[in-house]
Amino acid sequence: QVIKCKAAVLWEVNKPFSIEEVEVAPPKEHEVRIKIVATGICRSDDHVITGALVEPFPIILGHEAAGVVESVGQGVTSVKPGDKVVPLFVPQCGECKSCLNTKGNLCMKTDLGTTSGLMPDGTSRFTCKGKAIHHFLGTSTFTEYTVVHESAVAKIDSAAPLEKVCLIGCGFSTGYGAALQTAKVEPGSTCAVFGLGGVGLSVIMGCKAAGAARIIAVDINSNKFAKAKELGATDCINPKDFDKPIHEVLTEMTGGGVDYSFEVIGRTDTMTAAFACCHYNYGVSVIVGVPPAAQNITFDPMLLFTGRNWKGSVFGGWKSKDAVPKLVDDYMKKKFVLDPLITHTLPWTKINEGFDLLRTGK
């Protein structure tokens, strides 16, 4: 049965979302149709609006959500109608090289970096005004109903509050895992976190959970410092308060550089600064923010030659289908908090206001 429902459609770049009636096709073989209950707003969605992340239009964005399975296609065994689930923008097919390797988590079935904007079979499940609408990262959660591949959905605890655990679909897991999984932060270490949005704050929580002794939070918006300290930051610094490059400030503050640094903004200048502020011989710097399209980094290779490690992290290094249910269980056991990451709760028809709040740093 085709479902008619409301969705936030983005027709072209740099335009607001348009709330439209869309038709959502039934799930095909190995696909799952989900009623979305709550969705988070992530800067990666905004990157598509501004053109920094290139995707095909028209498109339904959104990739951080939680919902309830409405129906399943043939051959689906891991979920059934009525199950509470989190869609996964990094799927876990269990068969590709990344899925089979203990060191990897970026399943080759992901739409990240391919910009196909379609389901794995090369077609779309969304139609609006007679036109096919593209999917985003295989999830598309800015709609009342969406269709995902079975490899891109995780069944979670039926008691979990969906309006909180939706953040485990991207922001929280991405930051928390960057510290625990990708960097493998050690007890007693010193960390620097560039960017104090929801993901940056989640990195701070991960560093604290790992036992870091010093966590230096860096942002040009000092309004973000109180929450960073509440979640575990020991120092907060604003680059605007110094007349020298921020990596020099951090190197001096820490007597030679931090053990671990994290760039959680998605800017090439801060990526290089985060890399330069980690210890010249054994420092590890992790890129967590999505890099802007068509921009390259130029840096002195001596920064690498001396022993620093530069790493990237997608979805916090977690194998999604395995990790998301466990992270939800940890949340239910109060091993970490999500409430401080939620600043506003809006009816989703006010999605454009939500993005305005994101862009103004609120």
**What is the set of active-site residues?**
42, 44, 47, 63, 170
- Written as six digits, the tokens of 296 are 């390259």
- Dihedral sign, CA of 94, 90, 54, 97? negative
Measure the N-to-C terminal CA separation of the chain; round to a whole number of Å.
Answer: 41
Helix (H) or strand (E) holding 349: none
Using alpha carbons, list the distances in angstroms from residue 104 to 92, 96, 114, 174. 11, 10, 18, 14
Task: For residue 147, list its beta bridge partners.
Answer: 33
Structure tokens at 17: 């979302």
**What does the block give as tokens for 237?**
């610094």
Cβ proximity of 326 and 291 under 8 Å: no
Q: How far apart are CA 351 and CA 8, in angstroms?
A: 8
Least Cα distance to 276 among 254, 295, 257 occurs for: 257
Helices (H) and strands (E) in the chain, counts: 11, 15
d(CA 71, CA 10): 26
In angstroms, the Cα distances linking 349 to 24, 142, 237 are: 18, 10, 37
For residue 149, list its beta bridge partners.
31
Residue reference for tokens 């090289």 = 97
Task: Give the C-alpha separation, 175 to 182, whole Å.
Answer: 10
Sign of CA dihedral 201, 207, 212, 216: negative
* Residues 216, 245 contacting (CB under 8 angstroms): no
Query: Using alpha carbons only, what angle is made at residue 226 by residues 225 and 228, rounded to the nearest 5 degrees?
Result: 60
DSSP 290: P
H helix or E strand, kind and range, residue 307: none
